[in-house]
Amino acid sequence: MEGSDTTPAVVCRAIAKSFEVGAGKVVALRGIDLDVPLGELMMLVGPSGCGKTTLISIIAGILKPDEGCCAVLGVELASLSDNQMIDFRGRNIGFIFQSFNLLPALTIAENVAVPLIINGWERHKAARRAEAILGEMGLGGRTGDFWLSFPAASSRGLPSPALLRMSRGCWFATSRPAPSIMPRALRLWR
């Protein structure tokens, strides 16, 4: 976590983003202001194509806004170089992707351990930590299973909240997760 307890988690001002589509231009975000205090659970809701994913991508530092600025945990994202942005993301931001994007060749515990490995944890230590988290979630008996072997894996997204838990930062970005994940995520949040 880069900021102090009094630092807002997210501050966005006048964010604008548009995409070239063919010869035309599609405006995805127009003058967005957003403040998210630390410790707050916020959900973005809106019809498909209204710019939810674009906004989350900008907050996560994956997309750069055309206009405006965005600070996360007190760090102005525009001030970071590409590698600094990647490192910042690795340390502070957790994701549940729309289609999970788990690595099918890794066990559930290994998948959960990936964020820690990215942050330089030794693999076995990261795996033990992941197993502990999965154990807390009642999945201790399945840590060695492969993601694809998980019953109805793609629809239930069972270990995904554990992935969030492995993020050492104070917040996460997500986009249209499978509905079944949310109750678990909320439980974990509490």
The candidate with the shortest Cα–Cα distance to 115, out of 51, 175, 68, 164, is 164
Read off the tokens for 105.
């060749």
Query: Which of 34, 63, 69, 80: binder of another protein (CB under 8 A)?
Result: 63
Segment interacting with another protein (CB under 8 A) among 24-32, 38-46, 52-60, 152-160: 52-60
Q: 150: how many CB neighbours lie within 10 A of its CB?
A: 17
Read off the tokens for 74.
């007190």
Phi, psi of 12 (to 5 degrees): -120, 140
Supply the minimum distance, in Å, between the C-beta of residue 10 and another protein: 17
- Distance, CA of 4 to CA of 177 (rounded, Å): 29
Which CB, 54 or 68, lies closer to another protein?
54
Query: Which of 57, 108, 165, 172: binder of another protein (CB under 8 A)?
Result: 57
Binding site for another protein (CB under 8 A): 53, 56-57, 60, 62-63, 83, 86-91, 93, 95, 97-99, 101, 103-106, 110, 114-115, 117-119, 123, 175-176
